[in-house]
Amino acid sequence: MAFEPLRAACIGMGWWSDVLADAIQRSKKLKIVACYTRSEEKRRAFAAKYGCRAAPSYEAILEDRAIEAIVNTTPNDAHLETTRAAAAAAKHVFLDKPIANTVSEGRAITVACRKAGVVLALGYQRRRESHFRWIRAQIDAGAFGKLVNAEANISRDRVGKIDLGSWRYTAAGMPGGVMLQIGIHYTDVLEYLLGPIKAVNGRSAQLVLPGDNPDVASLVLEHEGGALSTLNASYASASEY
The pLDDT tens digits of the residues spanning 155-200 come to 988 887 888 888 989 999 999 999 999 999 999 999 999 999 999 9
- Cα separation, 111 vs 228, in Å, equals 30
Give span(s): CATH 3.30.360.10, the chain.
Answer: 138-234
Give span(s): CATH 3.40.50.720, the chain.
Answer: 6-122
The pLDDT tens digits of the residues spanning 84-132 come to 999 999 999 999 999 999 999 999 999 999 999 999 999 999 999 999 9
State residue 159's pLDDT score.
81
pTM tops 0.75, yes or no: yes
> Domain 138-234: which topology?
Dihydrodipicolinate Reductase; domain 2 (3.30.360)
Q: Model confidence at 239, in pLDDT bands (50, 70, 90)?
A: confident
- Cα separation, 49 vs 18, in Å, equals 9
Q: Helices 103-116 and 79-88: crossing angle, nearest 10°?
A: 10
The H-or-E segment that residue 155 falls in is: strand 149-155
State residue 1's pLDDT score.
63
Is the pLDDT at 145 greater than 80? The verdict is yes
Pairing of strands 92-95, 197-205: unpaired
CATH for 6-122 is 3.40.50.720
- Cα separation, 208 vs 219, in Å, equals 19
The pLDDT tens digits of the residues spanning 23-45 come to 999 999 999 999 999 999 999 99
The pLDDT tens digits of the residues spanning 226-236 come to 999 999 999 98
Per DSSP, helices labelled H in the chain are 15-27, 40-50, 58-63, 79-88, 103-116, 130-140, 178, 184-194
Average pLDDT over residues 58-67: 98
Average pLDDT over residues 137-158: 94
Lowest mean pLDDT among 4-8, 46-50, 180-184, 235-239: 235-239
Lowest mean pLDDT among 63-72, 85-94, 155-164, 202-211: 155-164
Average pLDDT over residues 194-212: 95
